[in-house]
Amino acid sequence: MRSVVVMRAVACGVVSVAALVGCGGSTEGVGSPTASKAAGEIFNPCRGALSDEALRGAGLDPATKGVTTDPPTGASAWRVCAWLPLDDRYGSGKRRVSVFSTSHTLEDARKKAGVTIIGDTTVNGRPALVFKENSDTDACFVSFDAEQGMFEVRTSWLSTEGPRVGDVCDMSTKYASALEPHLPK
């Protein structure tokens, strides 16, 4: 029983990072089955669905993969993994790039409390949204439309030490554009 509680707490923490669903309390319209597609099998960026070649082509180092959330069995509304950049093609400084795969939608993202929407855009023709969480201004999300719901690419600074060259929103947009051809429509 304790492991279920711990897993639920970890899942709630991860989802709050993802910024779309609250654990406990209520965020009207966000995360409810009527507001987003039912959680089913979604694209899994954590288990080889993004090839090492695709990651390297986007400027990410496959050897640095970190799993944020990837339940071993069953359906999940979120699958999230992160990598460190291979090089400084989009900026420099200590940072991480996360790929979120979710059944939630861009409309859910727009309704999320606690974010500042930077603007609408497109990622290789797909409708997209750029935003920052108010609680973490060292990171920026680019969320783009998919049949399963959406994908999000988040670039975040890892440290205040050393130089920080570039804008995390611009970096997220560039990483999203480089990864998008390898993600399902």
29 phi, psi to nearest 5 deg: 85, -15
Q: What is the pLDDT of residue 62?
A: 97
Nearest to 105 by CA among 37, 40, 169: 37
For residue 77, give both structure tokens: 């509304």
Mean pLDDT of 155-160: 91
The pLDDT of residue 139 is above 90: yes
Q: Express each pLDDT in 91-119 by its tens digit.
A: 999 999 999 999 999 999 999 999 999 99
Q: Delimit the domains of the chain by residue range.
A: 2-182
Mean pLDDT of 20-25: 34
Q: What is the pLDDT of residue 13?
A: 39
Which residue is listed with tokens 């993802």?
18
Q: What is the pLDDT of residue 68?
A: 94
Mean pLDDT for the chain?
83
Q: How confident is the model at residue 21 (pLDDT cuts 50, 70, 90)?
A: very low
Residues 6+ apart with CB under 8 A from 92: 163, 164, 165, 166
Q: What is the pLDDT of residue 161?
A: 81
Nearest to 130 by CA among 171, 159, 92: 171
Task: Report helix, strand and coil shares of the chain as percent, to nearest 5.
Answer: 25, 35, 40
Q: What is the pLDDT of residue 176?
A: 98
Q: What is the pLDDT of residue 23?
A: 32
Residue 8 vs residue 137, higher pLDDT: 137
CA 125 to CA 107: how far, in whole Å? 17
Residue 129 vs residue 72, higher pLDDT: 129
Q: What percent of the chain is modeled with pLDDT above 70?
A: 78
For residue 86, give both structure tokens: 């291979």
Amino acid at 115: V
In Å, how far are 90, 114, 161 from 18, measured between CA atoms? 23, 12, 25
Q: What is the pLDDT of residue 48?
A: 86
Q: What is the pLDDT of residue 18?
A: 42
CA 8 to CA 33: how far, in whole Å? 19
pTM check: above 0.85: no
